[in-house]
Structure 1
Amino acid sequence: MSEPDEQLFGLAPQPGQNVTLRDVAQAAGVTLGTASKAINGRGKLSPETRERVRAEALRLGFRFFSLQEDVPATQGVMVGVLTTDSYGRFSLPLLMGIEDAFGSRPVSAMLCNSRDQSREQQHLQLLLARKVDGIVVSARREDARPPIDIGRSNIPIIYAFTHVTDSNALCVLPDDAQGARLATEHLVSLGRRQFAHITGPSYFEAVRLREGAMRQVLTEHGIALPDYRVLSGPWQESWGYTATNFLFDQDASIDALFCGSDQLARGAIEALHARNIRVPADVSVVGFDNWEPMACATRPPLTTVDMNLSQVGRYVGESLLALFAGEQRSGVVRLPCSLVIRDSSDPLQQG
């Protein structure tokens, strides 16, 4: 087993000791590969060797989880969550999904609001001092960010609803492009052909992915999307209202409006009502997020793309368990979105 594999198997050495799997192997007088098999209950080892390795791991303070089916899952788990989502709109569904993935195994979370780099470092040091078993780094937007630095500690880290450029990191996100394709295909299937797109700032990766996917679907169906019908602005309901008025002042033939968030869609629908344009009879509107307090309070209730954040959280939880057991997981994983159809979209009415 190669040197990098050392980082895959242990959890949270005691602060100041920096115990690694190699330390355990040396203390037990075995190879690194044998130590990993003993810790994780894999491979053909004698009971004596397996017990010797585990005894040395415990003596040195090298904490690990035994996830074999014949071992009761009673050991509690503490997960630290670093997030910039101070409202909990994205982080809370993630946490519920993580909890679901752990099943009957007790799991607790320390939720830390890391709204700036200095505060994030303070929270990170606190999590390490509290000997958390794993760290989930999340955000209120999906853009790339720098990886966190935990020094020589070998605590598993997963990035959720955000990502880093480190190829060894595991990053789990919703598939924005696939979600935008669902929305656009739905509107096309309703007979809509005059499309417009109101979205957030173009420096957001999610904005670019969604617009690109929308354009690709429309191209596949031979439908044009003029540049003037794509408007970027702040993630605010007021921008949805303003942008819709601008669009329809320029072109009253628009019959399909795909918005990059539910807030934007709600503002757009309010603007259409003010212009006596019927939704969905004249214009079908689709949002993105499935933020239920917003989507269900819109009149009519909003058809929207659900990012399935609880499923993202479940995958994160399952991945934490896999990392605890010594499995290697890395790369960017994008999980599918789904379309929630409500009353704001309907087939085009002729005449």
Structure 2
Amino acid sequence: MSQDTQDKSPNRRVTIRDVARLAEVSIGTASKAMNAGGRLRQETRDKVMRVAKEIGYRPNDLAQSLHRARSRTVGILTNDSFGRFSFPIIRALEERLADQGVAVFMCNATDDPARERQHIDQLLGKRIDGLVVTARRSDRRPAILVGGIPVIYVFSQADDPDALCLLPDDEGGAVLASEHLIGLGRTRIAHITGPEHFEAVQLRHRGFKRALERAGLKSDLFLSGPWSEEWGRDAVAKLFDGADAPRPDALFCGNDQIARGAAEALRDRGIAVPRDVAIVGFDNWLVMTEAARPPLTSIDMNLPALGREAGERLLAMISGERETGTRRLPATLVVRQSTVES
């Protein structure tokens, strides 16, 4: 029987050799691409994966796991029960890992150290190849010591200088928001934000001050309170009711809930947004930004990009690369009618 006849047999198992031949690469290169290993060009890796999918190649997961001492699974540990921040990250992370045939186990620790330890022990029992730790806020936490497998913190930080932490650029996002308002000719900008003990609050305030001071403007209008619409309304009352000083002509809010509450309070007072007061929020939470009147300009932390980057870095670390340090991915400004009238 000829090789061509064998290739066309419907009962013949498709092998890595077939993938390599059709992708026009060596068997070793095809294997590295399928196993997320080695240093390959992304075009080569993508081509091999595409060919494998087209011809229906299915690796023997058990044999691969035994050969490489890998399970092709990854654990995700979070304390974000609501999922506002973690779910966009996890969705993008899972999609990136699925491209390489890696499945995920997700566990919710709900701020319970005992429950977290139980989840970690269970994940290690499943022989996971790596662990991703995420949270509902990016403040520092104790490092997770598992030994032997890579750990990445995403929208979370560890008190370990050797940990790899991926975070949004809160300070840079605040600079974007403030410069946008300054560019619109606003000169008396107030910053209404959340509790001061949050690192994100401190970084956003620092970015706000940096942008205003660079423009020669005062940055002394700063109010800190809860992350809530009610606080946005209360802050507007403090700034606009019976104040002797000139009223603000712009508000940079620490999140979209505060911004939406502020917009409602201004509307109740007959103060037009954005004609009299422009407003920028933070998070670009569509539930808030698009339902507000008017729709809110906001800073987007690009959480899916954080998830994809976490997937890339984790795959590299599983393959043996060592990475440490804190990396902040840039935020973007999404302009809507709360700053620019349509």
Provide the TM-score with structure 1 as the length reference. Answer: 0.76
Displacement of 1:253: 2.2
Distance 1:100 1:112 in 2: 17
Q: CA deviation at 1:77?
A: 3.0
Q: State whether structure 2 residue 103 is matched by structure 1 residue 133.
A: no
SS in 1 for 2:295: coil
Question: Given residue 219 of structure 2, which amino acid in structure 1 is its aligned partner?
Answer: L
> What residue identity is the alignment partner of 2:132?
V
| d(CA) in 2 for partners of 1:290, 1:66 | 33
Gaps of 5+ in 1: 1-49, 51-63
| Post-superposition offset of 1:98 | 1.2
Q: Which amino acid aligns with 2:205?
A: E
**Matching residue within 314, 328, 332 for 1:334:** 328
Distance in 1 separating the partners of 2:125 and 2:98: 26
Stretches of structure 2 that go unaligned for 5 or more consecutive residues are 1-27, 29-33, 50-58, 62-70
CA distance in 2, matches of 1:103, 1:137: 18
Shift of 1:252: 5.1
1:78 maps to a residue whose letter is: T
- What is the letter of the counterpart of residue 226 of structure 2? P
1:120 and 2:90 correspond: no
Q: Is the 8 A contact 1:65 1:324 kept in 2?
A: no
Partner residue in 2 for 1:186: 180
Rounded Cα–Cα distance in structure 1 between residues aligned with 2:235 and 2:103: 44
Match of 2:37 in 1: 67
Q: Secondary structure at the match of 2:157?
A: coil
8 Å contact from structure 2 (residues 282, 300) kept in 1? yes
Give the corresponding residue for 2:80.
Answer: 85
Deviations, residues 290-314 of structure 1 (Å, cap 9, x unaligned): 1111111111111000000000111
The match for 1:149 is 145
2:35–2:100 CA contact under 8 A, matched in 1: no
Superposed displacement of residue 269, structure 1: 0.4
Within-5 A mapping of 1:168-187: 168-187=162-181
- In 1, the alpha carbon distance for the partners of 2:264 and 2:322 equals 49
Identity of aligned residues (%): 49
Give CA-to-partner distance per residue, 1:19-70, whole Å, 9 cap, x none: xxxxxxxxxxxxxxxxxxxxxxxxxxxxxxx9xxxxxxxxxxxxx9552458
Count of residues in Structure 1 that have an aligned counterpart in Structure 2: 281
Could you say if the C-alpha distance between residues 221 and 80 of structure 1 is closer, same or farther in structure 2, counting changes exceeding 3 Å?
Answer: same
One-letter amino acid matched to 2:89 = L
Larger relative contact order (C-alpha < 8 A, sep ≥ 6)?
Answer: 1
Deviation digits for residues 153-199 of structure 1 (CA, Å, limit 9, x no counterpart) = 31110001011231211000001000000000000000000110110
- CA drift of 1:201 comes to 0.4
Do 1:272 and 1:279's aligned partners in 2 also have CA atoms closer than 8 Å?
yes
Aligned counterpart for 1:325 among listed residues 295, 319, 328:
319
Distance 1:102 1:155 in 2: 16
Give, in whole Å, the separation in 2 of the partners of 1:133 and 1:296. 40
Distance, in Å, in 1 between the alignment partners of 2:315 and 2:36 is: 10
